[in-house]
A and B are shown apart, each in its own frame.
Chain A
Amino acid sequence: MANEMDPRFVSRLRLAGVLVILGLLVQLATLLEAHPYSFLSFLIGGTGLVLAGVVTFVWAWARQ
């Protein structure tokens, strides 16, 4: 099944997944404490990774 798909799309899909999951995990970690560092980590680290993942997915989808 999986090998019927474009392998480049699959690898980009996985890359997007890894980025989004990492971003969400960073976001989750920052929710454990209300502190300016947490807020900045959420904004720069977590949201940055999620955004990179979403862009990678949309790019992979558009190029398919």
Chain B
Amino acid sequence: MNNPIETENLGKRYGNVKAVEHLSLQVAEGEIYAFLGLNGAGKTTTIRMLLGMIKPTSGYARVLQTRVRIGSREPWKSVGYMVEDPHAYSELTVYENLEVARRLHPGTPPKAVGQMIERLSLGAYASRRAGTLSHGNAQRLGLAKALIHNPKLLILDEPANGLDPAGIVEIRELLLKLTSEQGGTIFMSSHILAEVSRLAGRIGIIHQGKLLQELNTDELERNRKRRLLLRVRDIGSAHRTLIAAGLPAEILQDGTIELKHASSIERPDDINQLLVNSGTPPTRLMVEEEELEEYFLRLVGMDKGLQNE
């Protein structure tokens, strides 16, 4: 398999602190892989190890079939990246910063600078010093620097960080276009599940340095908790009817009846019929899916912690 990214038992330890441990993952060609985790979960440490900026204390990483070694100049010709905040030389203009990025990737034609400015909608800021850019435009500049040499693989650390909703949509479309039209591969980190679920084909969830789960978007949908919520005028009577029918129902504090049983969620029309026949027709009936963020927090074991706060 020619996976653009492969890690085997990758780990990084700082003294007694295990920043990343036993990380084994594969990212397939043409895939958008989202690396999801809370702040401090080990996302950036993993990205820095993938880019040869820090030495792993265990295991190894392969990027574009090359084993990553610290300080090496392989395989970066076809890799674009953005790590943490998008810093630029504040005294140089947007154009000059891109010119610097171009010269750091020998063989990139001079016209690439203009093309990137156009592609990332930076035309109005081309002559402005990078130090005066808003966070959103600085993020665009960071992405333009990562893309300037037309890389096969993009490694992006929180690419939508600081962007406004329009900017997030724009970046999402740009990244989708990159993979669909050019067959590029993207490995991106994020701490917002809702954001990556619309973009990524596969999601790896990291918590406290460990990969908890890998799932594709279909699995994500299946794994999310669902429930049927009912509102009726006579709560007591409706509840008794449901219990008598062998359906475990619970009355919530706001008077809503909650059903978690799979058959209830799959066939809400049957529940409706049952209640209509018993003379307590529902005034509201709704299948609710667990929010992505709730699902994520449940997965990393932080849902109870937040509820208690």
Question: Do chains A and B stick together as partners?
Answer: no
Q: List the interface of chain A (C-beta within 8 A of B).
A: none
